[in-house]
Amino acid sequence: MDRYELRRLDYSLSADQTELQAVYAKFFATRSPIDVVRAAEPTGFDRNLWEQLCATGATTMALPAEVGGDGATLVDLVLVAEEIGRTLAPVPWIEHVCATRLLARLGAPTDAADLVSGQRIATFDARLDISAGPRLIPAAAAADEVIARRGTDIVRLTPDRRPDAVANLGRLPLAWIDPAAGSQVVASGAEAAAHYATALDEWRLLTAAALVGLVDETTRIAAEFATTRYTLGVPISTLQGISHPLANMAITVQSGRALSRRAAWFLGNEPGVRDELASAAFVFMAEEAAKAATMAVHIQGGLGVAAESAASGYLVRARGWPLAGGDPAASARRAAILLADKVSGSSRPALV
């Protein structure tokens, strides 16, 4: 696959990338219907779905060949993340991919047979805040090991038992983890911090792409409802109060998709040139996904707010997923700092 198929002002997909997205769209549509998502809500994780996903090579593809992976590009990963968001698939693929790619960059042992294949699940602390004490870490309730920061060190934790999941709005397998408890230091210093910053950007990027898929499916649900409900003899979709918000939702999908693919291209091919794009994509989708999902619920009226409604399931995740990494405003601040430094010609530490 040509790594430079997507260029700075061209976001068209190659034939291979189009096929890749179609394969995972079909996989998640058949293996992760809404009833599977609902059944996994108590823990936020479906082990059977995870094993089926790993069997497709979704974890292997994300890693470089030197550690047993297939060397997929970040654009490829964005395409998979979008399909995960479209079906609300209860699997910690984004966290696992970011954690294992980080371990590979740090040169840490990856236990290739287990981590690369997904038999062992890894996650990492996706927050900018590096204060001491226990932290609420994404996918920690489903993970076998956790990568986190402890001061200037990057540490690896392998708990004897998985901690209990913490109830949360996004129905994610969040859990409290203390990086000081039984951790192994795998790297330290400025270079390690820079690699961790890259992992954070990749998490923001893939989460943004998942939110694009979420909004795309939310728009489809709302539009389908609006074209089959009538008032005064016409579909409610013809009313400006419905059609204009639906158009805004479609614009959000196209804008978020273009921004996330552009961010993926730069982060993968020209690191350091436009690193603010990953944060920008994340902040944009964190704000717009919640608006779009709220409007979808409003369009469906009383049906939309029902607990069994698909629209309500998309709404809580649109609001909850971006918070797994802490306050999205911190990512907005990072984007602003990177842009300001670019204009002024100055530089700051990788983790801000």
Per residue in 39-69, pLDDT tens? 999 999 999 999 999 999 999 999 988 888 8
Region of 149 (left: φ > 0; alpha: ψ -120 to 50; beta: rest) is beta
Question: How would residue 1 be classed by pLDDT, with cut points 50, 70 and 90?
Answer: very low
- pLDDT above 90 covers a percentage of the chain that reads 58
- For residue 89, which phi and psi values (nearest 5 degrees)? -55, 125
- Buried-exposed string 16-51: b where 16+ CB fall within 10 A, e elsewhere: ebeebbeebbebbeebbeeebbbebeebbbbeebbe
- CATH architecture under which domain 193-344 falls: Up-down Bundle (1.20)
So what's the pLDDT on residue 234? 84
Per residue in 6-45, pLDDT tens? 566 677 888 999 999 999 999 999 999 999 999 999 999 9
Cα dist from 174 to 38, 55, 66, whole Å: 17, 24, 31
Per residue in 165-214, pLDDT tens? 999 989 999 999 888 777 788 888 889 989 999 999 999 999 999 999 99
Asked if residue 219 has pLDDT above 50, the reply is: yes
Asked if residue 150 has pLDDT above 90, the reply is: no
So what's the pLDDT on residue 66? 83
So what's the pLDDT on residue 6? 55
Beta strand 153-157 with 183-188: parallel, antiparallel or unpaired?
antiparallel
Asked if residue 131 has pLDDT above 80, the reply is: no
Question: How would residue 215 be classed by pLDDT, with cut points 50, 70 and 90?
Answer: very high
The rounded distance, in Å, linking the Cα atoms of 234 and 231 is: 5
Q: Is the pTM of this model over 0.95?
A: no
The rounded distance, in Å, linking the Cα atoms of 266 and 183 is: 33
Domain definitions of the chain by residue range: 193-344
Angle at 290 between CA 136 and CA 216, to 5 degrees: 110
Closest CA to 34 of 252, 250, 218, 298: 218
The rounded distance, in Å, linking the Cα atoms of 122 and 148 is: 11
So what's the pLDDT on residue 51? 97
Asked if residue 108 has pLDDT above 80, the reply is: no
Asked if residue 135 has pLDDT above 60, the reply is: yes
3 state DSSP class of 91: coil
So what's the pLDDT on residue 19? 95
Q: For the chain, how big is the Rg over CA atoms in Å?
A: 20
The rounded distance, in Å, linking the Cα atoms of 248 and 21 is: 24
Higher pLDDT, 210 or 109: 210
Per residue in 240-297, pLDDT tens? 888 999 999 999 999 999 999 999 999 998 888 889 999 999 999 999 999 999 999 9
Higher pLDDT, 158 or 351: 158
So what's the pLDDT on residue 350? 54
Q: What is the mean pLDDT of the chain?
A: 88
Residues forming beta bridges with residue 153, ordered by sequence position = 150, 188
